């Protein structure tokens, strides 16, 4: 075999070895991409769940803020406390009743 043919054979062999190595790396990267996609989907689901809970917390906060701003009586243990007054404006006793401002504190019927 002439010398040039040996060089060409070695070059072709190196080319195919390099192509094989590259193909293995591409397959490894593809499997990593699939794993990352699964993790991203899982994180997206978790973020959605967190956002739902955050919206619940915000609505409870806004409800409490609305109640605090609109309630003429002070809250105590989830109930409004109002003082029954006699004509001399002295406080006789506290009366507990359910608040009409917020539906959460209304009696269950």
The DSSP call for residue 1 is: -
> 8-23 as b/e, with b when 16 or more CB fall inside 10 Å?
eeeeeeeeeeeeeeee
Q: What is the DSSP string of 5-20?
A: HHHHHHHHHHHHHHHH
- Domain positions in the chain are 1-70, 73-109
- Looking at the chain, the number of H-run helices and the number of E-run strands are 1, 3
User: Model-level pTM?
Assistant: 0.44
pLDDT tens digit at each of 109 positions of the chain: 567 778 888 889 999 999 999 999 999 999 999 999 999 999 999 999 999 888 888 877 777 676 666 665 565 665 555 544 445 555 444 444 445 555 444 444 4
């Amino acid at each position: 075999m002439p010398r040039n043919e040996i060089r060409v054979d070695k070059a072709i062999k190196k080319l195919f070895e390099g192509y094989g190595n590259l193909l293995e790396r591409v397959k490894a990267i593809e499997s990593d991409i699939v794993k990352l996609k699964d993790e991203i989907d899982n994180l997206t689901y978790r973020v959605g769940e967190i956002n739902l809970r955050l919206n619940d917390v915000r609505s409870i906060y806004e409800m409490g803020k609305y109640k605090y701003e609109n309630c003429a009586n002070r809250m105590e243990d989830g109930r409004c406390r109002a003082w029954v007054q006699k004509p001399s404006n002295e406080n006789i006793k506290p009366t507990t009743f359910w608040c009409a401002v917020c539906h959460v504190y209304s009696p269950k019927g």
